[in-house]
Amino acid sequence: MKNLSLVLSIFICVSCSKLSANEIKPKLFTNYFTGLESEIVMDYQSIKLNYDLTLRSEKNVHFSTCKQVEETASDDIAVSEFHLLQMLKANCAALKQYSQAKSSNVSYLQEILDKKDISNLPATAYPYVNKHDKSQRRGKTLSEYHKKFNTSLDISGAIKVETETDQMFYYVVATGDFNADKVQDALIRIDWQVIDAFGKGFKLIMVTKESADKPYEITTLN
């Protein structure tokens, strides 16, 4: 009986070790967060920022917390700096997700994280244009939708993309289990600008892949 108990104890310990070894902890890539003062992010409420924007009244506004960012409306900020408020809001949304992230047991994101290839993401992983454009993108990947889809690895670590109309940088800003299914997800911030016209902004998406044979799914977070 003692021997049986010993064998069971060893089996349980080995199983625990395997689970621990397979655990993939959340990661935050702080170098992609302009204005982030906190070196370690644990609690969303305690995150420290250091960033300034200009109000429409031409007065300066200083942001030291994400709560301030959340409470600031686009109409409050000078038009020329509206895209920078978008950046702060995208960053704070990502930081909020990361502060609540759990460890995952498995990942199917190697194509993105290791190979730096986003061509198979849904075509909706793109700046919003209009309802018609969004409907045309459904059911297609980025590379299927665009006649021109040139990618390269930028010196910053972002995946640089050029299409017929836009230039974009896809930054993987955090990884972790963001939807409590024990599968690794990625938060990607898309920094975009129109090539031949005025227009720039920031979009945050969560990328999910539930198994090796399933397609990527995305959720827009800002």
164 and 116 part of one domain: yes
Residue 8 within a domain: no
Domains identified in the chain, total number? 2
Q: What is the mean pLDDT of each run of 10 residues along the chain (222 residues)?
A: 46 39 90 95 95 96 98 95 97 98 96 96 94 93 96 96 96 98 98 90 97 96 92
Residue 60 within a domain: yes
116 and 182 part of one domain: yes
Which pLDDT value is given to residue 4? 44
Residue 127 within a domain: yes
Which pLDDT value is given to residue 6? 43
Residue 53 within a domain: yes
69 and 122 part of one domain: no
- Note the pLDDT tens digit of each residue in 34-54: 999 998 999 999 999 999 999
149 and 211 part of one domain: yes
- As a whole number of angstroms, the distance between CA 17 and CA 12 comes to 9
Range of the domain at 35: 28-99
122 and 187 part of one domain: yes
- Note the pLDDT tens digit of each residue in 133-170: 999 999 999 999 999 999 999 999 999 999 999 999 99
Q: What is the DSSP string of the chain?
A: -HHHHHHHHHHHHHHHHHHHHH-B--EE-GGG-TTB--SS---GGG--B-EEEEBTTS-EEEE-SHHHHHH--GGGB-GGGHHHHHHHHHHHHHHHHHHT-B-BSB---HHHHTT---TTSBTTSS----HHHHHHHTT-BHHHH-S--EEEE-TTS-EEEE-SSEEEEEEEEEEEBSSSSSB-EEEEEEEEEESSSS-EEEEEEEEE--STTS--EEEE--
Which pLDDT value is given to residue 3? 52
171 and 192 part of one domain: yes
pTM for the model stands at 0.89
55 and 135 part of one domain: no
Residue 16 within a domain: no
Which pLDDT value is given to residue 197? 80
216 and 114 part of one domain: yes
192 and 145 part of one domain: yes
Residue 193 within a domain: yes
36 and 73 part of one domain: yes
